[in-house]
Amino acid sequence: MKILLVEDDLGLAERLRRAFAEAGFAVHHVVDGVEALYAGQHLPFDAAVLDLGLPALDGVAVLDRLRGGGSRLPVLVLTARARWSDKLSAFNAGADDYVTKPFETDEVIVRLRALIRRSTGHVRPELECGPLRLDTHDQRVTVNGEPVALTSHELRLLTYLLHHQQRTVSRTEIMEHVYDGDAERDSNVIDVLMARIRRKLGAPLIHTVRGAGYRLAWHPGS
Ligand code: CA
């Protein structure tokens, strides 16, 4: 899962980036409204955290233009503007959630997870596929009730697959949602990561779809 973080306060941005990474998110950070609009229009994210008071282009204008272009990106506004009129204009522009500064980082993370879950059609905080289960609150993964220890990238990848299970996801898509920034990487790293996750899960859950990518699914009896 990858978050677009739009925040011009660099100290705060760094604090959020660390907390998000610890919570299992890849993060792409931008500092002004123009960059935010470009990233939101051209790069794939699972959700955005958007400040309103931004250089170059105000957060409400960013949101308005993103929605005008048809973007369904879940957006949590994180701002010092606590007036009702500010909240109203953000929601009118297409915000999905609104948190005012000062804030509890954990609350922002819990709200982000809920936004992502709803946007991918999941209603409960536990994601399941056959014997595999992920509790999105504490990031615990189990297979048949037995805990599975995963590295942060393995966990990010598995979380993405669980949100998008029953659908084939390409290596490029996985790479875009698992790694920070927009660095080009060899798609072999995904195959290596996938092999390690399969070994750790020990159950036939991740299927290779030749020429297309991977699919997470459980076929009892297969
Ligand atoms: Ca600001």
Distance 58 CA to ligand 1 centre (A): 9
pTM: 0.91
Distance CA 86, CA 75 (A): 15
- Cα–Cα distance measured from residue 165 to residue 89, given in angstroms and rounded to the nearest whole number: 35
- Nearest-angstrom CA–CA distance, 214 and 171: 8
Ligand 1 centroid to residue 61 C-alpha, Å = 14
- Cα 182 to ligand 1 centroid, rounded to whole Å: 23
What is the Å distance from ligand 1's center to 12 Cα? 10
Indicate the burial class of 121 (C-beta count within 10 angstroms; 0-12, 13-18, 19 or more).
Answer: exposed
Predicted confidence pLDDT, tens digits, the chain (222 residues): 999 999 999 999 999 999 999 999 999 999 999 999 999 999 999 999 999 999 999 999 999 999 999 999 999 999 999 999 999 999 999 999 999 999 999 999 999 999 999 999 998 999 999 999 999 988 999 999 999 999 999 999 999 999 999 899 999 999 999 988 656 677 788 999 999 999 999 999 999 999 999 999 999 875
Q: How far does CA 84 lie from the centroid of its chain?
A: 28
* The 3-state secondary structure of 152-177, one letter per residue: HHHHHHHHHHHHCCCCEECHHHHHHH
3-state secondary structure of 150: coil
Ligand 1 centre and the CA of 81: distance in Å? 10
